[in-house]
Structure formats: C-alpha cells, structure tokens
C-alpha cells in the first residue's frame, strides 16, 4: 500500500501560536506550508488563556490566537491537518521525508484544518518544530497540595476559569487568593534550574483581572523575586504592587484548613505563620515539550542544557519556534514563529535558485 | 549595619568547610524558615536570617550567636529547599568554625566528651545488651577510639580508651 503524498515546501509541526504565526508569515512571503497538529483542534495551550485586560488592554496576546487561526484558515498557501503525528523522518534530497500517522484521539473540534484520515508521506525542504513547551505538573511539588487540598489550582486551571469569567467553585464571590510563584522552575530539587520567565507576568496580570472582576478580593503574591518582564513592565509593576500584597517568601506548605487551603510562610524577621485563603494558585513553569527527545531523534535536533529543543548545530533545514525552544510568552512565540519562517523561506528560496539557476 | 563591620571573606570561609558549599546557592526564599520546627518555638531562630547574616559577613555576630547551636538536625529545611542548600550542613560548617574559635557552648563540649568516652551519646549498658542477648543478638560494640582520634585526644589504633564490649 502506498501512502498519500502530501509534499510541501515547509512542514510545520504544531498548530499553536508559534506554528500558526510561522505559516502566516510564510504565506505572506508566498511560500506554501503544511501544519501538522497532534490534537483534534488548532490553538495549542493559548486556546485556554484568558484575556488579561482590565480597564486597558494588557497586551497579553491571548486574542491573537483567534486572528492567526482565521488568517491560517483563509490563506490558500496554508494546508492544515489536525490529529496527525510525525512518526518517522529522514533526510532526503534537499529536505526531509516525513511519515505521518493519524491520531485517533477524541472529538474533532470546530475550526480550521481537517483531520488526517490515513497514513501519509510528506517531502519538505524545511521543517519547523513548533510543538510548544510542557507546563510543570504541580502534583510533582507535593507539599503545595495540588490534587490533594481543595482550593489549590494550577495557574493554567485559573486561566481556563477566568476565560469563563468565573473564579472556581465559589464562582462570583470576592475571594482571598494566593499565588505561589516558581512552582517547577528555578528548583534544583526538581532538576529544573531555569526561570520560566512568563509566570510573574501572567500571575500578576491574572491577580489584577481578579481584582477587576471582584474588587473586594484580596490577592497575595508569594515570590522569591519579581522577574522583570515586558516592555512596559517597569511602569506596570508599581501599580500592581498597590493592588496586591507582595510577600517575598516561598511558602513551606499548603494544607487543608477548615475554611479552605492554608499557606505556611515566614516573613523576614518573623515567625512562620499559617494563613487561610479561598484559592491558592500555583504558578507552574514552562518546561521542555514531552517527547523532546523523540522529536530530537526524529529530526536530529539538539537539546540545550535545560532540555529545550534548539536548531543550533542541528541538521540543515530544521528550525525551532516558540516555547519548544524555551519559555516564551504568546507575543514572543509569535515573533519567534516569524523568525523561523524567515529562515525557512530563505532556505526554500536558495534551494530553488540552486535548482533553476 | 556598617560595611566595615562586615567580613566579605566569611561566606567563602563557610563555603570552604565540609558541607558549607550549599550556601552559595541560597535564593533567600524562606521556605526553610516556614517549616523549621525550632523556629516555630523560638521566634529569634530563623534559618534565612542566619544565612543572610553569613552572606553579609557578620562573622562575630554569627559565630558567637547561641542560636546556631539550636538546630535539631531534622533536615526539614533541606527537604523543602528549592536550591539544595542543605542548611543543616551549612550550619554544621558554621558551628565547626565557631567551635574552633572557642564559641562552643558547654553542652557541645559535654557531648564531645561523651562521644570520646563512649563512642556514642547514649552509653550502652548491660540493660540493652541483656535484652539483645535474650533476642539472640550480639552485644553492641562501643568504639570510642574513632571519636577520640577525630577529637585529637588519642591515636586512632592501639591504645583504645575502652575495649569494645
């Protein structure tokens, strides 16, 4: 049996913001691309994110996913297959020959792209790995009680709740909310030494959304230090400090109390105390994609010292974009997708010059 | 605090002691202070504060402090530390320096004397060994020579203080 043949100048693995941005950028340069998405629908992690605007836009980028999906759906140069996985790859001629297999994983969602129905072979001159990163599973930091103590959520769960306009089970009542930073980042005991970079920004902005939604809410921000983030951050931070209580201490543990989760922490020069909250949010860090090693082996891409994919020193024609290459915000992933697109486009152009000239 | 009261070399001195190197990695996040059972009972005992004082070079203040001898060596701080500082061992390094400079409290000296005499803190008596004999177990050996050698009291082999029992 011969596979369906789906040749394309540029193959993009991953239909999150980085992959979509790369495809749209390539289309604008007149280069056709095929996006392969593992899940039944496009969007990746960004599809769970809430808008961080209060009175003004916070430029978080959550709304840009919709724009990118609409553009990708309408640009004729872009082909999208969902529920598809690259299972084998080998260099062939100028580029790569990739075997694709359908992923029978659940409902086909609405949105652009069609599910891959059968195994297929695809030749591409360039491959962009835009598979995203993996958020830390907070159950791995057992002392913070995720999955054990009621009222403890990961920041991703809070994103999804806020995207629905709710604040967990006690939906619309003002709440006392604690954010605990660096859960699964800057943690040698977990072997995760890197700063996830985006968590201070998303946590404080979600804290501000909560204060905007339910102004009687109290928000506490437990942190080691605030990582400077984004262009307007220096102006934004003093305002955020007024709206929330900043506590420079990592809690020792989160336990179940009578009225909700209780956080044990020590202020400088004071004895440790236990304080009750309605909601404890664990700001989980971004890590390398699951299966980074498998992908790395498939395409010969190297990993950096933290395990993220890197195109440096890898084979010709393989590029990496977005959070697969290291923790990145939505906006940064979009820009990074554009960078990979320009590199892929130059390669396609020089190969075609070599062939015709 | 005056800068010329600080000894910038103190942190390196601590880091050079066995077990002391972990101090280099501290983020001052206070997870240790949140969980320290000694701190829960002594308001002035705070692991984060001891680390900061050491990093700032408050040499005399740290070495002469009675607080450094209060650690119960439960290692809870090490369990919660995201940076693997191993504060219990850092504090042992600090106590070793303090002890060399004559700051060890009488209780530490008594502890050392007990170790030198018995090879362990709790003397093994006929009570324990009779019980062991009832269970068919050999008597416990006390080997004080090792500790005597460490404490510089007697040579390691040969003339042992007490014969193994």
The nearest alpha carbon in chain A to B81 belongs to: A189
Whether residue B76 is found in the same domain as residue B131:
no
Q: pLDDT per position in chain B (165 positions), as tens?
A: 788 889 999 999 999 999 999 999 999 999 999 999 999 999 999 999 999 999 999 999 999 999 999 999 999 999 999 999 999 999 999 999 999 999 999 998 898 888 888 888 888 889 999 999 999 999 988 788 888 888 787 655 544 444 444
Here the tokens at position B58 are 């408050």
**B74 shares its domain with B57:** yes
CATH architecture assignment, domain A4-133+288-356: 3-Layer(bba) Sandwich (3.50)
- For residues B91 and B26, membership in a common domain is answered with yes
**From the candidates B28, B30, B38, B70, which should be mutated to test the interface with A, based on the most A CB atoms within 10 A?**
B30
ipTM for the predicted complex comes to 0.83
- How far apart CA A20 and CA A331 sit, in angstroms, is 12
The reply to whether B62 and B111 lie within a common domain is no
Q: Do B30 and A249 touch (CB under 8 A)?
A: yes
Whether A213 shows a pLDDT value over 60: the answer reads: yes
Q: Do A186 and B84 touch (CB under 8 A)?
A: no
pLDDT digits (tens, 9 = 90+) for B136-154: 999 988 788 888 888 787 6
Contact state of B27 with A253 under an 8 Å Cβ cutoff: no
Please indicate, yes or no, whether residues B66 and B118 belong to a single structural domain of this protein.
Answer: no
Instruction: State the pLDDT at residue A227.
Output: 86
Interface residue of B1, B28, B31 to substitute, partner A, most A CBs within 10 Å: B31
pLDDT range class, residue A14, cuts 50, 70, 90:
very high
- Shortest distance, CA B121 to any CA of chain A (angstroms): 31
* B83 in any annotated domain: yes
Q: Which chain B residues are within 8 Å of A186, Cβ to Cβ?
A: 27, 82
Instruction: Say whether residue A195 is in contact with chain B using an 8 A CB cutoff.
Output: no
Q: Report the topology of domain A135-286.
A: FAD/NAD(P)-binding domain (3.50.50)
Inter-chain contacts counted by CB atoms under 8 A, chains A and B: 68
SS3 A303: strand
Q: Please judge whether A264 and B34 are an interchain contact, meaning their C-beta atoms are less than 8 angstroms apart.
A: yes
In this structure, how many other beta carbons lie within 10 angstroms of the beta carbon of residue A135? 20
Express as a percent the part of chain A with pLDDT over 70. Answer: 96
Q: Mean of the pLDDT values across residues A161-181?
A: 82
As a whole number, mean pLDDT of residues A92-107 equals: 86
> Rounded to an integer, what is the distance from CA A84 to the centroid of its chain?
19
Number of structural domains, chain B?
A: 2
Per-residue pLDDT of B24-36, as tens digits, reads: 999 999 999 999 9
Kindly write down the DSSP assignment for every residue of B55-74, as one continuous string.
HHT-HHHHHT-GGGG-----
Which domain range does residue B60 map to? 3-100
Query: Domain spans of chain A?
Result: 4-133+288-356, 135-286
pLDDT at B159: 45
Buried b (16+ CB within 10 A) or exposed e, A256-275: ebeebbbbbbbeeeebbeee
Give mean pLDDT, residues A321-341.
96
Same domain, B18 and B72: yes
């Amino acid at each position: 049996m011969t596979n369906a043949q789906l040749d394309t100048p540029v193959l993009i693995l991953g239909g999150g913001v980085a992959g979509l941005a790369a495809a749209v950028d390539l289309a604008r340069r007149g280069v056709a691309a095929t996006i392969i998405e593992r899940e039944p629908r496009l969007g990746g992690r960004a599809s769970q994110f809430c808008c961080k605007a209060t009175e003004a836009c916070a430029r978080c980028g959550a709304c840009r996913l919709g724009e990118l999906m609409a553009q990708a759906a309408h640009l004729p140069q872009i082909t999208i297959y969902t529920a598809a996985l690259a299972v084998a790859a080998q260099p062939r001629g100028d580029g790569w020959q990739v075997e694709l297999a359908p992923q029978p994983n659940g409902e086909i969602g609405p949105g652009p792209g069609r599910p891959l129905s059968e195994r297929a072979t695809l030749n591409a001159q360039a491959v962009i790995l835009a598979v995203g990163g993996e958020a830390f599973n907070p159950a791995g930091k057992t002392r913070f009680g995720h999955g054990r103590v009621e009222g403890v959520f990961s920041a991703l769960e809070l994103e999804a709740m806020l995207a629905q306009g709710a604040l967990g089970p006690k939906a619309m009542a003002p709440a006392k909310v604690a954010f605990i930073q660096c859960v699964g980042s800057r943690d040698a005991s977990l072997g995760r030494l890197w700063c996830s970079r985006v968590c201070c920004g998303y946590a404080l902005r979600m804290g501000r959304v909560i204060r905007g939604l339910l102004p009687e809410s109290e928000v506490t921000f437990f942190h080691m230090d605030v990582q400077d983030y984004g262009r307007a951050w220096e102006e934004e931070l003093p305002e955020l400090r007024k709206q929330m209580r900043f506590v420079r201490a990592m809690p020792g543990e989160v336990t179940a109390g009578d009225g909700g989760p209780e956080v044990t922490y020590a202020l400088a020069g004071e004895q440790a105390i236990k304080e009750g909250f309605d909601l404890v949010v664990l700001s989980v860090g971004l890590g390398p994609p699951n299966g980074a090693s498998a992908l790395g082996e498939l395409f010969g891409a190297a990993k950096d010292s933290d395990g993220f994919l890197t195109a440096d020193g890898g084979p010709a024609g393989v590029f990496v974009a977005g959070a697969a290459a290291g923790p990145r915000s939505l906006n940064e992933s979009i820009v990074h997708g554009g960078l990979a697109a320009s590199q892929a486009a130059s390669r396609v152009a020089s190969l075609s010059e070599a062939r015709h000239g | 605090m005056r800068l010329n009261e600080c000894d910038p070399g103190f942190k390196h001195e601590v880091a050079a002691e066995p077990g002391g190197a972990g101090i280099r990695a501290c983020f001052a996040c206070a997870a240790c202070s949140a969980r320290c059972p000694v701190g829960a009972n002594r308001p002035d005992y705070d692991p984060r504060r001891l680390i900061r004082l050491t990093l700032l070079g408050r040499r005399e203040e740290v070495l002469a402090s009675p607080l450094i001898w209060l650690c119960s060596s439960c290692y809870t701080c090490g369990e919660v530390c995201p940076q693997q500082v191993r504060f219990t061992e850092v504090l042992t390094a600090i106590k070793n320096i303090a002890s060399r400079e004559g700051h060890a409290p009488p209780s530490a000296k008594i502890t050392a004397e007990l170790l030198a005499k018995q090879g362990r803190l709790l003397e093994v008596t006929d009570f324990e060994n009779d019980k062991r004999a009832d269970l068919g177990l050999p008597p416990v050996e006390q080997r004080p020579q090792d500790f005597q050698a460490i404490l510089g009291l007697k040579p390691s082999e040969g003339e042992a203080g007490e014969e193994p029992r």
